[in-house]
Structure 1
Amino acid sequence: MRKNYAYSADFDLKTEKLLKDAKYLGQGNNGIVYELPHNRIIKIFLKEKICKAEGMTLKRTKKSKYFPKIYFLGELYIVREKVEGVRLDKYIKRNGLDKEISKKLYDLLKEFKKLGFVKLDTRCRDIYVTKDRKLMMIDPKGCYTRRVDFPRHLMKKLNSLKLLEVFLTHIEEIDEEKSKYWRSQLDKYFKKKNIEYEV
C-alpha cells in the first residue's frame, strides 16, 4: 500500500493559476501528478534532489522524440508535456509483443546511449505506447548517475509476462551481437537473484 505524504511547494504565479483547474492523475514513490490545461502535467516532489535530477534529465533530452517537453522546473515541482498512451506492460498484456514494438524498444535503448545515459535500462511502467505506436518515456530516474549496462528491469518484467524469449528472439534478428550480450548478462543477473525464466 502506498504511503500518504503531505506535499508542499512554492509555485510561481502562472503555475498557481493553472493549478486551479488541475485534475489529480496519480501518486508514485517520489511525487504526485496533476493534469493541467494545455496538455501539460505538474509533478510535485517530496525531495528537491529528485525533482532537480528529473528536471535536468528532461532538459538534457529536450531534442529527443522519446521524452516529453519540460516547461518549468521549480524547487519541488516540474511542469511538463502530458504523455498520452498506454503503459507498455498493460499494452503488451492486451496486444502481445510484436517485432515492431521490440524494434522500437531496441531503438529507445540505443537512444539512451546516444544521450549519454549510464543507465541503459528502464521499467515497463515508465514507457508509454501512443495511439500511433510511438514510445514515450516518463519519470526518468538515475539516467546519468546509476550505471546499468543492459536492460535488466525491462527484461525482468518481460520475463514475468512470459514474453522475454519473444523479445530476445526479435532482438537477435535485429542485432545478433547485442542479443548475445544481453542474454549473457541476464543469465548472470537471474542466477544471482534466483529468478527463473518464464516460458
Structure 2
Amino acid sequence: MDKNDSGYIDLDSRAEKMLRKGEFLGCGHNGIVYLLPDKRVIKIFKDKKVCEKEYDILKRARKSKYFPKVYAQGTYYIVRNYVSGERLDKYIKKEGFNKQIAHNIIKLIKEFKMLGFKKLDIRCKDLYVGKHFSLKVIDPKNNYSEKVIYPRHLMKGLNKLGVLDEFLSVVNNECPEIYELWNFRIKQYLDKGIK
C-alpha cells in the first residue's frame, strides 16, 4: 500500500519542527493548514504534485499584490504568508456586495492575464477580502495548465449569492470589451446547468 493511501505523509524534520509550534487553521480537499508564530502558514498537501503546482504558481506570481509571498517548499508542504480577512462568499453573505469589490475582482482577473495564466478563474472560497476591500488568492490551482477564458466558477459563486447581475453591471461600466464575453459565457453556462 502506498504511504498516501493510508493518510501518511512523510515530512522532513524542518516541517515537523514547524508543526510543533503551529496552530491548526483548517483543512480542505488538498491538505491541511497551520498558522506559525511568525504570521506565516505551513500548508501540508496530500499530493506532492499539487504541492509543486501551487508552489510554482505562487513563485511565478511573487510580485503580485494578490498572492501571498511563498518562503519555502518541501516535498509535501509550502510555507507562505498568512492571509487575513474573510472568505469572499462569507463576506458577501454578512456585509453584502459593492462596486469596490467588483472593481477589485476585475483588476484581479486582469492581473491573472498579465501573469500569463491560462485559467482566468478562481472560486469565491479561494479569495479573501481584506482592508479597503483588497483581495488575496489563497489556493491557486491549475492556472498555467487549465484553459478557462473567463471567471466561470467565480461568477457561478456570485450567482449563488445573488450578486452576479450587480457584478456584471460594474464590468459593463468599466470594461465593456470583456463584459460581452463574460456575460455571454456565464449565461450560456448557467442555462446549460438548468436544463
The normalised TM-score by structure 2 is 0.93
| Cα distance in 2 for residues equivalent to 1:92 and 1:124 | 10
Structure 1 residue ranges, 4+ long, deviating more than 6 angstroms after superposition: none
- Measured after TM superposition, the shift of residue 7 of structure 1 is 4.2
How far is the alpha carbon of 1:150 from its aligned partner? 0.6
The equivalent residue for 2:3 is none
Task: Provide, for residues 8-44 of structure 1, a one-character-per-residue CA deviation record: whole Å limited to 9, x for no partner.
Answer: 232243x433222111111111101111110111111
Structure 1 residue 11 corresponds to structure 2 residue 12? yes
Give, in angstroms, the shift of residue 164 of structure 1. Answer: 0.5
Tell me whether 1:38 sits opposite 2:35 in the alignment.
Answer: no
Report the Cα offset of residue 124 of structure 1: 0.4
Gaps of 5+ in 2: 1-5
Work out whether residues 71 and 78 of structure 2, in 8 Å CA contact, stay in contact via their aligned partners in 1.
Answer: yes
CA–CA separation in structure 1 for the residues paired with 2:133 and 2:102: 11
Does the aligned pair in 2 maintain the 1:7–1:44 contact within 8 Å?
no
CA distance in 2, matches of 1:7, 1:103: 43
CA RMSD of aligned residues (A): 1.3
Q: Distance in 1 between matches of 2:166 and 2:132?
A: 22
1:6 is matched by which residue type in structure 2? Answer: G
Return the letter of the residue paired with 1:91. Answer: Y
Q: TM-score, normalised by structure 1?
A: 0.91
- 1:160 to partner: Cα distance: 0.8
- Alignment partner, residue 91 of structure 1: 91
Separation of aligned partners in 2, 1:191 and 1:35: 41
Q: Whole-Å Cα distance in 2 between the matches of residues 179 and 59 of structure 1?
A: 30
Question: Are the counterparts in 2 of residues 7 and 45 from structure 1 also a CA contact under 8 Å?
Answer: no
Task: Provide the rounded CA distance (Å) in 1 between the counterparts of 2:165 and 2:188.
Answer: 16
Q: In the alignment, which residue of structure 2 is the partner of 1:162? A: 162
Q: Deviations over 1:81-139 (max 9, x none)?
A: 10000000111111211111100000000000000000000000000011332110011
Counterpart of 1:183 in structure 2 is 183
Higher helix share: 2
- 66-75 or 93-102: bigger deviation: 93-102
Question: Residue 100 of structure 2 contacts residue 133 of structure 2 at CA under 8 Å; is this kept in 1?
Answer: no
What number of residue pairs does the alignment pair up? 190
Report if the CA contact (8 A) 1:25-1:34 is conserved.
Answer: yes
What SS class does the counterpart of residue 132 from structure 1 fall into? helix
User: Which residue of structure 2 aligns with residue 149 of structure 1?
Assistant: 149
Q: Cα distance 1:7–1:83, how it changes in 2: closer, same or farther (>3 A)?
A: farther
Alpha-carbon distance in structure 2 between the residues aligned to 1:112 and 1:12: 35
Q: How far apart are 1:191 and its partner, in Å?
A: 2.1
| Counterpart Cα distance in 1 of 2:177 and 2:115 | 21
1:133-186 superposed Cα distances (whole Å, 9 cap, x missing partner): 211001100100010001110111111111100110111111112112111111
Distance 1:142 1:126 in 2: 13
Spell out the pairing of 1:41-60 with structure 2 (5 A cutoff): 41-60=41-60
Query: Which residue identity does 2:184 align to in structure 1?
Result: S
Say which SS state the counterpart of residue 97 (structure 2) adopts. Answer: coil
